[in-house]
Amino acid sequence: MHQVKLGIIGGGTVGGGVFDALKRNGDLLSARIGVGLEIVRVAVRDLKKARASKFPAKLLTADWREVVYNPEIQIIVELIGGTTTAREIILAALKLGKPVVTANKALLSAHGEELFAAANKYGTNLYYEASVCGGIPIIKTLREGFVGNRIDALYGIVNGTCNYILTRMKLEGADFAAVLADAQRLGYAETPPDLDIDGHDAAHKTGILASLAHGFWVKPKQVHVEGIRHITALDIQFAQQLGYTIKLLGMVKKVGKYCQVQVSVYPTLIPNAHVLASVNHVFNAVFVRGDVVGDALFYGRGAGKDATASSVLSDLADAALDLTNNTKIRVPPFVSHSCDGSVLPVSEIVSRYYVRLNVVDKPGVMAKISSILAAANIGMSSVVQPEGHEGESVPLILMIHDAKNGAVTKALDKISKLPVIKAKPVMIRVESFA
């Protein structure tokens, strides 16, 4: 059996998970692909640090260069995270013609265009299945399984931390801050949690999926991002009463006839009847609509040692087979289809909206609000003023018909300045999946 030798850079949770998975299922993997995989070196930051995975001392080094520049090593596995040293490592390996497997979504989001160009220039490949949605094989599905489809829409629950928080808020009626604190205690949320709860982690993944689906590189600044800090137990409750569930949704949608694509991450009201509404706790799901295949759903664990290791092993199998068979690139990662695409500005995004206002409970309030919306040509489908709220102000819920984001934002800014409005309006978009 032909043997391929690997070098792993990073001995933390994911690196250890890959090492343990190869130890457990390496023989199975080799039997299935007909190629043996052997780990030659593992680079770690601190040789003295205690680790959950038991790496043999003879494999360890504190210098990543001893892995990348080792002539014996044929495939590099980058699992250290970050966007500085990791970029240097990957570029060095690609310049040597060595294929690289990475799980680094932040790096690909920030420097993917440069890295894939380097892989092409030096006749090798960059594998990145583990960068999006952990153990869900969504990259290979879009790149190879749906190679004959135009992707009309893609919706993803791609951040387990936010999904866990929103699920607990719905099931328990709990406040955001209390659930976040519990999530941090249980290890589901980082400290600080900003990357997750402000939507940036989901934006990295959504941008990668958008680039892959539409064949042009989506830069991080082009992705409109909103997090979940402003979602309250009250919003969760009202959404349920109206027949919706709130999820943080990564969205990639073709818009119009001019090769424009909406690429965004924001909290969304999802109809309870839609399958994504039932994706709970730390699980991820990606709903894809292709022009040939129709609708397809991919569901599973989006993070964690074993889920991520599973995707890394999948990439290692591909890399080993490609190397053995001298196949440089089977399906190019990003190819423009019939035109040069562009990202639709957020102001032009059309949606329906849930709006919660805190208003003074007195006659004439609704007339003032309605006049501002009417002047902006924005229509309301329903108005709910729940009973049982006492005090100076009460909640007022508006469900707004399809309108451009820019128009709604401007109208809400005017409404917020009315003397009868006692807090900043809360706006959450509504997705119908039509």
Q: What's the angle, vertex CA 192, arms to CA 246 and CA 287, rounded to 5?
A: 30
Contact (Cβ atoms closer than 8 angstroms) between residue 87 and residue 126: no
Query: Which amino acid is it at 429?
Result: R
pLDDT (mean) for 353-366: 93
pLDDT (mean) for 69-90: 97
Q: Which pLDDT score, from 0 to 100, does residue 338 have?
A: 60
Question: Band of the pLDDT at 388, cuts 50, 70, 90?
Answer: low
Whole-angstrom Cα distance, residue 374 to residue 37? 66
> Residues 112-151: pLDDT tens digits?
999 999 999 999 999 999 999 999 999 999 999 999 999 9
pLDDT (mean) for 149-162: 96
In the predicted model, is pLDDT for residue 341 greater than 90? no
State what percent of residues in the chain have pLDDT above 70: 98
Q: Which two tokens stand for residue 422?
A: 């006692």
Whole-angstrom Cα distance, residue 245 to residue 228? 13
Close Cβ partners of 147 (under 8 Å, ≥ 6 residues apart): 331
Q: Which pLDDT score, from 0 to 100, does residue 333 have?
A: 76
pTM of the shown model: 0.95
> Residues 6-60: pLDDT tens digits?
999 999 999 999 999 999 999 999 999 999 999 999 999 999 999 999 999 999 9
The catalytic position among 205, 247, 305, 404 is: 205
Instruction: Specify whether 254 is catalytic.
Output: no
Peptide bond into 99 cis (omega under 30): no
Instruction: Return mean pLDDT, the chain.
Output: 94
Whole-angstrom Cα distance, residue 385 to residue 394? 8
Question: Band of the pLDDT at 408, cuts 50, 70, 90?
Answer: very high
In the predicted model, is pLDDT for residue 66 greater than 80? yes
> Residues 251-309: pLDDT tens digits?
999 997 778 999 999 999 999 999 999 999 999 999 999 999 999 999 999 988 999 99
Q: Which domains does the chain have, with CATH numbers?
A: 2-134+305-324 (3.40.50.720), 139-302 (3.30.360.10), 347-430 (3.30.70.260)
Q: Which pLDDT score, from 0 to 100, does residue 366 have?
A: 93
> Residues 38-47: pLDDT tens digits?
999 999 999 9
